[in-house]
């Protein structure tokens, strides 16, 4: 079992049954004992009876021609990225850890049915979307052109193709020349080393399929590499015997393969690598650039922006607004919560004679958000009515005493009312609201210039803004003086308030192309003493925007970002003085604790096609095993452990 920030490698994760059609035969036999004695055998004669076999067919469903996009956890190198990946094996990580072994490349074997093929720009295969024609109980691709070879021979039931209203289903295929495929298609003995499973610290098991080819580094021409995850189900050894090693078939003949996932990337510069992108981030303050006179600069330094503001009479003005995400906490305003309307939270800027609507906007937003959730609104209103009625009854009972001493029953009722708590469902909703769940993005970042592209902005959470947000939500159903007294009691108890001394929230907003390439990140926050601060939110607000919050006794002082451990890639090291020397690539093998050891394997020692950067993985695995002293057990799990690259990470120090 993998622990925090650790990963466990598995050589396979085979399903109980592979996908396909199965035949179940039930045979029944009965032997009866008669009354006639068999003197030879010393027993009564036995008569056998045979019944007709009962045959049942069933299908184990599984993808074959298409993959649901949710099956793909992520790919590496990232789609469209332009980093230097010349020493890294491209890979696909699959959310279902059994998928590579649900079918097989060779009948009667456990060879995986998936292969990741990498093509240079001048080898780019032609991609087509074709219809599959059903004939009998199988679906060949028909009709291929005369010079297109179809290597598949599917003869069992198909379960994952569901034509829409009777139409023939669409499948993506690539057409690869025989000469190219012969260079890059891994032989059968390499296939086990190209697939493994990973058990990560988040409790998930995923499968990884790697390529047997390293990308081509081309800084001058920005050459593009094309990756295709293809089906090789049932192709072995036939595709080699009948096609690739058949001299009667021309090298330019095209072979059609099913492509289940494809993407492209360029290999040109480390500036666009994980560390390269993070190191270039703009780390400026979460505020607009200073401009104007000293008074304006002072407001901008506080994180305020000018926005249009329309008064109730229709007059159009401008007003200051500040997000709850602030660079520095300011003095708490003089108003007291709860309030009956947002107007009580409007602050006047006497220098410019305009309003600051920050807290009023937060209050109104809280109202809108709870009303947008009818279930929560109904539960909250019902709970509020119940406790308001209790408060009114207590007051009536006091008046009925006509000056007599307060009874124990009334004192107990008052104590119960003071100790009232929100039901768990409502408490959870208010807590999530307090950490800004479902807050519209423009309330957090009212001007795009506050969060430029390729930037990270650190902030503290304005407790007063959050209190106003919660007060607005809590105001629903408050119509009488008893309602507002109850609101005040509950706020005093701190049920829906963040203004407690032991809770401080801080975080960051990240806007970067990094998030498209590395969708899963491991993010840790520490305070000034190095203690870990609990992360309460890490949510993508857009494809390139990440919102992260930490909650603890102290504000976050540093943040570390690295790729998720389950997404680490396999590859080599190239010394800086070795130029782009394929044979000089090497791997330092690991000790049992995962730290670098003293043994190493160099690509020059293994069987490889240097011109096309294709590596015979079985010989690489054998070289690793030899350097380790030929351990008794050495599978693709141990191979992946030694070939895995360490995680790049960067630490940002937060200035207060």
Going by pLDDT thresholds of 50, 70 and 90, the confidence category of residue 3 is very low
Note whether residue 320 is domain-resident: no
How far is residue 353's CA from residue 613's CA, in Å, rounded to a whole number? 70
Residues 150 and 127 in one domain: yes
Note whether residue 381 is domain-resident: no
Note whether residue 258 is domain-resident: yes
Instruction: Judge contact between 155 and 138, C-beta under 8 A.
Output: yes
Count CB-CB contacts under 10 A for residue 420: 16
**Torsion sign, CA atoms 154, 157, 161, 163:** positive
Residues 243 and 106 in one domain: yes
Count CB-CB contacts under 10 A for residue 52: 7
Note whether residue 117 is domain-resident: yes
Residues 27 and 155 in one domain: no
User: Looking at the predicted structure, is the pLDDT value of residue 561 above 70?
Assistant: yes
Going by pLDDT thresholds of 50, 70 and 90, the confidence category of residue 2 is very low
How far is residue 223's CA from residue 217's CA, in Å, rounded to a whole number? 8
Note whether residue 37 is domain-resident: yes
Note whether residue 634 is domain-resident: no
Question: HSE (CB half, 13 Å, CA atoms) of 284?
Answer: 15
User: Looking at the predicted structure, is the pLDDT value of residue 455 above 90?
Assistant: yes
Within 247-317, residue ranges assigned H as helices are 274-279, 294-301
Q: Note the pLDDT tens digit of each residue in 179-237.
A: 999 999 999 999 999 999 998 777 789 999 999 999 988 766 768 999 999 999 999 99
Mean pLDDT of 158-166: 47
Q: How many domains does the chain have?
A: 2
Q: Note the pLDDT tens digit of each residue in 362-395.
A: 999 999 999 999 999 999 988 888 877 777 788 7
Residues 56 and 75 in one domain: no
Residues 184 and 264 in one domain: yes
Question: Between the CA of residue 617 and those of 94, 213, 220, 355, what are the distances in Å?
Answer: 21, 10, 30, 69
Q: Note the pLDDT tens digit of each residue in 486-499.
A: 666 665 555 555 44
Count CB-CB contacts under 10 A for residue 142: 13
Last residue of a domain, one of 270, 293, 328: 270
Last residue of a domain, one of 270, 287, 304: 270
Residues 125 and 224 in one domain: yes
- pLDDT score recorded for residue 164: 43
Note whether residue 25 is domain-resident: yes
How far is residue 457's CA from residue 450's CA, in Å, rounded to a whole number? 8
Question: Given phi > 0 = left and psi -120 to 50 = alpha, else beta, which region is 295?
Answer: alpha
How far is residue 88's CA from residue 565's CA, in Å, rounded to a whole number? 16
Last residue of a domain, one of 205, 238, 270: 270
How far is residue 624's CA from residue 638's CA, in Å, rounded to a whole number? 9
- Contacts of 530 by beta carbon, 8 Å cutoff, 6+ apart: none
In this structure, what token pair is assigned to residue 222?
């920005």
Domain hosting residue 31, numbered range:
20-60
What is the three-state SS of 554-595? CCCCEEEEEECHHHCCEECECCHHHCCCHHHCEEEEECCCCC
Count CB-CB contacts under 10 A for residue 182: 16
Angle at 161 between CA 160 and CA 162, to 5 degrees: 110
Residues 221 and 84 in one domain: yes
How many helices and strands in the chain, by DSSP H and E? 14, 31
User: Looking at the predicted structure, is the pLDDT value of residue 615 above 80?
Assistant: yes
Residues 45 and 110 in one domain: no
Note whether residue 51 is domain-resident: yes
Q: Nearest Cα to 238, choosing from 144, 154, 148? A: 154
Residues 106 and 247 in one domain: yes
Residues 144 and 205 in one domain: yes
Residues 28 and 117 in one domain: no
Backbone angles phi, psi at 68, to 5 degrees: -60, 130
Q: Nearest Cα to 489, choosing from 573, 394, 424? A: 394
Residues 77 and 40 in one domain: no
Torsion of CA 490, 492, 493, 497, to 10 degrees: 80
Going by pLDDT thresholds of 50, 70 and 90, the confidence category of residue 138 is very low
How far is residue 620's CA from residue 626's CA, in Å, rounded to a whole number? 10
Q: Note the pLDDT tens digit of each residue in 407-444.
A: 888 788 777 776 777 888 998 999 999 999 999 999 99
- pLDDT score recorded for residue 168: 62
């Amino acid at each position: 079992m993998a622990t925090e920030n650790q990963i466990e490698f598995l050589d396979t994760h085979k399903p109980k049954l592979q996908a396909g059609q199965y035949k179940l035969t039930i045979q029944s036999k009965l032997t009866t004992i008669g009354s006639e004695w068999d003197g030879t055998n010393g027993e009564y004669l036995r008569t056998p009876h045979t019944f007709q076999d009962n045959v049942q067919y069933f299908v184990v469903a599984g993808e074959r021609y298409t993959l649901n996009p949710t099956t793909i956890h992520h790919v590496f190198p990232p789609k469209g990225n332009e980093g230097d990946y010349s020493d890294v094996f491209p890979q696909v990580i699959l959310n279902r850890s059994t998928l590579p072994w649900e079918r097989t490349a060779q009948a009667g074997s456990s060879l995986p049915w998936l292969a990741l093929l990498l093509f240079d720009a001048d080898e780019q295969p032609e991609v087509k979307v074709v219809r599959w024609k059903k004939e009998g109980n199988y679906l060949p691709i028909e009709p291929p052109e005369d010079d297109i070879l179809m290597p598949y021979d599917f003869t069992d039931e198909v379960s994952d193709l569901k034509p829409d209203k009777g139409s023939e289903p669409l499948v993506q295929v690539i057409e690869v020349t025989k000469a190219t495929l012969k260079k890059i298609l891994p032989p059968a003995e390499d296939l086990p080393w190209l697939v493994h499973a990973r058990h990560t610290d988040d409790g998930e098991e995923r499968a990884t399929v790697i390529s047997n080819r390293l990308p081509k580094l081309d800084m001058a021409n920005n050459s593009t590499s094309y990756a295709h995850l293809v089906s090789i189900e049932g192709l072995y050894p036939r595709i080699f015997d009948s096609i690739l090693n058949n001299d009667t078939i021309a090298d330019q003949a095209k072979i059609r393969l099913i492509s289940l996932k494809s993407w492209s990337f360029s290999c040109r510069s480390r500036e666009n690598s994980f560390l390269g992108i993070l190191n270039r981030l703009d780390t400026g303050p979460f505020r607009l650039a200073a401009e104007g006179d000293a008074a304006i600069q002072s407001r901008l330094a506080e994180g305020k922006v000018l926005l249009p503001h329309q008064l109730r009479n229709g007059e159009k003005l401008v007003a200051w607004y500040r997000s709850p995400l602030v660079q520095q906490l300011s003095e708490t305003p003089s108003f007291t919560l709860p309030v009956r309307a947002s107007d009580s939270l409007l602050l006047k800027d006497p220098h410019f004679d305009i309003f600051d609507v920050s807290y009023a906007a937060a209050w109104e937003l809280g109202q809108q958000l709870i009303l947008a959730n009818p279930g929560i609104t109904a539960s909250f209103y019902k709970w509020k009515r119940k406790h308001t009625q209790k408060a009114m009854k207590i007051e009536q009972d006091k008046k009925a005493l006509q000056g007599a001493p307060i009874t124990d029953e009334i004192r107990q009722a008052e104590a119960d009312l003071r100790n009232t708590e929100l039901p768990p469902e409502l408490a959870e909703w208010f807590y999530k609201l307090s950490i800004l769940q479902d807050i519209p993005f423009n309330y957090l970042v009212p001007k795009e210039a506050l969060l430029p592209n390729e930037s990270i902005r650190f902030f503290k959470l304005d407790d007063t803004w959050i209190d106003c947000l919660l007060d607005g939500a809590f105001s629903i159903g408050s119509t009488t003086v008893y309602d507002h007294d109850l609101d005040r009691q509950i706020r005093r108890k701190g049920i829906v308030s963040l203004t407690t001394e032991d809770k401080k929230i801080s975080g960051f907003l990240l806007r970067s192309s990094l998030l498209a390439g590395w969708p899963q990140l491991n993010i840790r926050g520490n305070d000034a003493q190095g203690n870990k601060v609990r992360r309460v939110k890490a949510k993508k607000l857009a494809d390139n925007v990440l919102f992260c919050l930490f909650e603890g006794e102290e504000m976050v002082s540093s943040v570390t970002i690295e790729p998720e451990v389950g997404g680490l890639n396999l590859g080599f090291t190239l010394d800086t003085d070795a130029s782009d020397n394929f044979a000089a690539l090497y791997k330092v093998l690991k000790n049992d604790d995962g730290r670098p050891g003293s043994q190493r394997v160099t690509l020059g020692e293994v069987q490889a096609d240097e011109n096309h950067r294709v590596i015979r993985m079985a010989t690489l695995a054998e070289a690793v095993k030899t350097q380790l002293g030929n351990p008794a057990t050495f599978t693709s799990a141990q191979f992946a452990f030694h070939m895995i690259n360490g995680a790049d990470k960067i630490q940002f120090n937060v200035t207060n």
